[in-house]
Amino acid sequence: MRRRQSHDGRGDEEGSAVAGEQSGAVGGVPRLAVFLFPSEMVFYAEQRSSHRRVLTLYNPYNFSLSFKMWCTAPSFYRVVEAEGSIRAKSCVDLVVRHLDVSPRHWGRRDRFRMEVRGGGQVGRREIWAELRGGQEEEEQRGGQQRALPHPTSQLLPTQAHLPACTAVRSASQWAVCVAVAVLCVTVLMLPLHTDSNSLVPRWLHVSTNQKLVCAYTLGLVTMVFLR
């Protein structure tokens, strides 16, 4: 990953500078919406599979984009292909690896910033990365146990059928998630209302807000798949 500044303990100061740059336009250049998902990365120290996270950057526009990923703590992470370009109506996956999951860093939160340029416009998007102790499954089980009611001394006869019903609901939920993900990706690939030279019928053009909603939904569905 390219370093914006050398990491010398000023991560918080650099993170503040990043936030300030995101709040306003850069040199009067028009802003560009950035479709980067998921919106947050969580690494678990005792689960090796979680030390590697994948970020997906979408380009729903009719022009190519160049991108570059920045980080407030570059010595803790490695990003495969942190800089490159995306063709129109395409996407690219960025692999982020956490390099130091020692206990002294548990609870640490760092900031990533994606900067894209294309069509004479520039866009920026920030996401957070957090390192937690334990494993992802243990954290989920703990949340489920806190949500369960107190056990009763007697079970209803109909509870004997609960495992089968749960399995059916689980399969149907996966089918719904897959359908929602396909729909969101399709909407993200459709042209915007402002694209007048597209071959797609006008009634299939969507707005930037609609793309943002679909992108956010796709990020949530992606988190469900990862878990």
CB contact set of 219 (below 8 Å; sequence gap of 6+): 37, 38, 39
Instruction: Note the pLDDT tens digit of each residue in 149-191.
Output: 444 433 334 333 434 434 444 667 777 778 888 888 888 887 8
pTM here? 0.54
Please identify every stretch of the chain with a pLDDT value under 50, giving residue numbers as ranges. Answer: 1-24, 145-169
Instruction: Note the pLDDT tens digit of each residue in 179-190.
Output: 888 888 888 887
The answer to whether residues 153 and 146 touch, using CB atoms and an 8 Å cutoff, is no
The topology (CATH level 3) of 35-132 is Immunoglobulin-like (2.60.40)
**What is the model's pLDDT at position 175?**
78
What Rg value do the Cα atoms of the chain yield, rounded?
21
**What is the model's pLDDT at position 141?**
56
Crossing angle of the two packed helices 208-226 and 162-189, in degrees rounded to 10: 140
Annotated domain spans of the chain: 35-132, 173-187+206-226
